[in-house]
């Protein structure tokens, strides 16, 4: 019940491993003040999102600490990407159980450093608490967009097409691999899928290109169908998805072949961290150019129609595929 | 190991109790998008801080949920206050154990609503996770200051005086009361002290008045002596505190009388959430006027000197009082 429960050397741990991560953000004052001082660049506004990852829910205790750190950061970067925002800085609160020691913190900070360099974002503040119970990492990420404009969930128009980056369902399968569910997959496929679960690839470059092209967009983290349902409801129209057009990776196709999962599982599984977005048909050429420029596959998977604000998934023969409405909750 | 573990009605819980808290921040989009869009008012910059509170560390499971919510918000408001910032909005991630039910969330949200109204701040985004283990609430609070100027820890000058708002040590004693440590205090004193522990009073109005007066300031949350040591180190000078001048409340004085705690305990205990700040001697009249205007006692407790960057506490006879260097860790 002490406010904090410091251990010998804890202050030094933070000073040594976390403070250097704040060097790139002048207003972080080296993590040596009560708060950071930040303002958007001229002509820009901030896009802000907050997501936590928790041991036993989003990662396992045995996971490498650098990957845990990068996943915690990347789930937030994925939200910024879906809004067309350029990463700027982040605030982090962590709860460390007793088993978190110096080498763990060092590896954790190293992971953050790798992704800070990769995505151009810097630590700007936070707090750490020693507590019993699962390790948790809460990050509030700040990005910038030009002008007071952000790609919203609510901007889709009747006649727009709907697209998705990357491939869908790999992380769902990766979680099965992490849980050692036998599935008749090759070691190489298992490794690829596990990697997609442990270390999502936020589509930051593609997201930046979408500003000015996409009419609406959403981070696909709770399952493709559930997230597109959010977009459909926010935009007040029906989004029809052609199940056969949803991009699946080669390992995912093989997993469907072995019966490890159905296509329906992949379309409702979580943790994809791809971007689903709508755009008028005339934007197709620019979207393909963006895909070539960024090296990220972007696939048209359906279209927007007048009708009940919801998602409809159609099989190749045109029949609707039923999905349970239970989704995952964001707020 | 599911990304989220929703329960029946969870989505509705959030929509009913948390979404209304975002009505005052236009860029929160009713918590219905992936991220918020915010920019400081013209001529202003953002001051941002992040602090988490955890069950068993900062509060007890049996504590009233509305007070838990308000404490989680207030520890962050206290940081904004110490930086002279006006509260604007906040992002919150919460981890809810199984015992958190509808009535708990309703009372929790009611507490947030009360303090949102009191301090002019609004929920702008966040995330909730069901998890095993202690309840935790992580808040990133955003305030505004005029121009790119914030009251720093590092601005104290030799010759400045050091002041503190309110009274010191009440929360330290309140925690003893919460733990049922017998101390020979009256029921009324016990209640007063418990209240100071459970519900800190962030000095937001006083903090706003300090912009332009204080040369340096720090949120006193880890103990008066430890926090003033931070300020001394950041400013590169010696801060001398006259122990006899540190303001103690009447219940705290009586607790010292009964032997429940020493003055030394009160000066090193945490959870005060007062502001310690430095200012040139010529500012004394303006500081007293600010105290009268806000109704917050503000007391001069010492001064700044050339010397080793540290704090020295002197007894009434001038002898230094020893304090352990172990402090609490922020980053």
pLDDT tens digits for range B65-74: 999 999 999 9
> Which residues contact residue A107 at a Cβ distance below 8 angstroms, ignoring those fewer than 6 apart?
A64, A65, A66, A69
Q: pLDDT at position A15, please? A: 82
Given a cut of 50, whether residue B328 has pLDDT beyond it is: no
Q: Do B131 and A128 touch (CB under 8 A)?
A: no
Given a cut of 60, whether residue B325 has pLDDT beyond it is: no
What percentage of chain B carries pLDDT values higher than 70?
Answer: 94
The answer to whether A112 and A73 are in contact (CB under 8 A) is: yes
Task: Identify which has the larger pLDDT, B212 or B110.
Answer: B110
Given a cut of 90, whether residue A135 has pLDDT beyond it is: yes
Euclidean distance between CA atoms A325 and A229, whole angstroms: 9
Mean predicted lDDT score pLDDT of chain B: 92
Given a cut of 90, whether residue A57 has pLDDT beyond it is: no
Euclidean distance between CA atoms B239 and B278, whole angstroms: 10
Euclidean distance between CA atoms A246 and B23, whole angstroms: 36
Given a cut of 80, whether residue A60 has pLDDT beyond it is: yes
The answer to whether A170 and A249 are in contact (CB under 8 A) is: yes
| Mean pLDDT confidence for B180-201 | 92
Q: How confident is the model at residue A133 (pLDDT cuts 50, 70, 90)?
A: confident
Q: Which segments of chain A are extended strands (E)?
A: 36-38, 44-54, 86-96, 122-130, 136-146, 161-165, 216-220, 238-242, 274-279, 298-305, 310-314, 320-321
Q: Which segments of B36-114 are extended strands (E)?
A: 36-38, 44-54, 86-96
- Upper half-sphere CA count for residue A233 (Cβ side, 13 Å): 9
Q: Which domains does chain A have, with CATH numbers?
A: 10-146 (3.30.1330.10), 161-321 (3.90.650.10)
| Mean pLDDT confidence for B53-73 | 92
Q: What is the pLDDT of residues A266-319, one digit of tens each?
A: 999 989 999 999 999 999 999 999 999 999 999 999 999 999 999 999 999 999
Q: Which of B140, B203, B211, B231 to mutate to test the interface with A (most CBs of A within 10 A)?
A: B140
SS3 A82: helix
Q: CB distance from A136 to chain B under 8 Å?
A: yes
Predicted TM-score (pTM) of the model is 0.94
Given a cut of 50, whether residue A227 has pLDDT beyond it is: yes
The alpha carbon of B174 is separated from its chain's Cα centroid by a whole number of angstroms, namely 15
**Which chain B residues in 54-113 lie under 8 Å from chain A, judged by CB atoms?**
54, 56-58, 60, 79-80, 82-83, 85, 91-93, 95
State the smallest CA–CA distance between residue B321 and chain A in angstroms. 23
Count contacts between A and B (CB, < 8 Å).
260
Output the CA–CA distances (angstroms, integers) from residue A291 to A209, A255, A285, B19, B231, in the order listed.
9, 26, 10, 36, 51
Euclidean distance between CA atoms A121 and A87, whole angstroms: 5
b/e for A155-174, b at 16 or more Cβ within 10 A?
bbeeebbbbbbbbbbbbbbb
Q: CB distance from A289 to chain B under 8 Å?
A: no
ipTM, 2 dp: 0.93
Given a cut of 90, whether residue A5 has pLDDT beyond it is: no
């Amino acid at each position: 019940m002490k406010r904090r429960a410091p251990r010998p050397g804890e202050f030094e741990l933070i000073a040594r491993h976390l403070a250097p991560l704040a060097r790139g953000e002048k207003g972080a004052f080296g993590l040596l003040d009560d708060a950071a001082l930040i303002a958007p660049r001229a002509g820009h506004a901030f896009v802000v999102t907050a997501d936590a990852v928790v041991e036993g829910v989003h990662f396992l205790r045995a996971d490498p600490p650098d990957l845990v750190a990068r996943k915690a950061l990347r789930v937030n970067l994925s939200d910024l990407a879906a809004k067309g925002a350029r990463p700027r800085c982040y605030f982090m609160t962590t709860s460390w159980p007793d088993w978190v020691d110096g080498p763990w913190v060092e590896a954790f900070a190293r992971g953050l450093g790798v992704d800070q360099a990769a995505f151009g974002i810097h630590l700007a503040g936070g707090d750490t608490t020693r507590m019993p119970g699962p390790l948790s990492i809460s990050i509030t990420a700040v990005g910038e967009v030009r002008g007071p404009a952000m790609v919203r969930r609510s901007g889709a128009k009747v006649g727009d097409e709907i697209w998705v980056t990357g491939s869908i369902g790999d992380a769902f399968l990766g979680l099965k691999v992490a849980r050692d569910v036998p599935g008749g997959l090759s070691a190489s496929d298992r490794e690829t899928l596990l990697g997609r679960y442990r270390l999502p690839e936020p589509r930051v470059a593609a997201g930046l290109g979408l500003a000015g092209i996409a009419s609406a967009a959403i981070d696909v983290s709770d399952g493709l169908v559930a997230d597109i349902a959010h977009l459909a409801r926010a935009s007040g129209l029906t989004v029809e998805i052609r199940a056969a057009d949803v991009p699946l990776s080669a390992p995912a196709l093989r997993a469907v072949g072995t019966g490890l999962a159905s296509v329906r599982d992949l379309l409702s599984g979580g943790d994809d961290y791809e971007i689903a977005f709508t755009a008028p048909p005339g934007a197709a050429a620019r979207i393909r150019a963006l895909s070539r420029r960024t090296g990220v596959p972007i696939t048209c998977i359906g279209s927007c129609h007048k009708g009940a604000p919801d998602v409809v998934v159609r099989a190749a023969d045109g029949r609707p595929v039923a999905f349970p409405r239970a989704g995952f909750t964001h707020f």
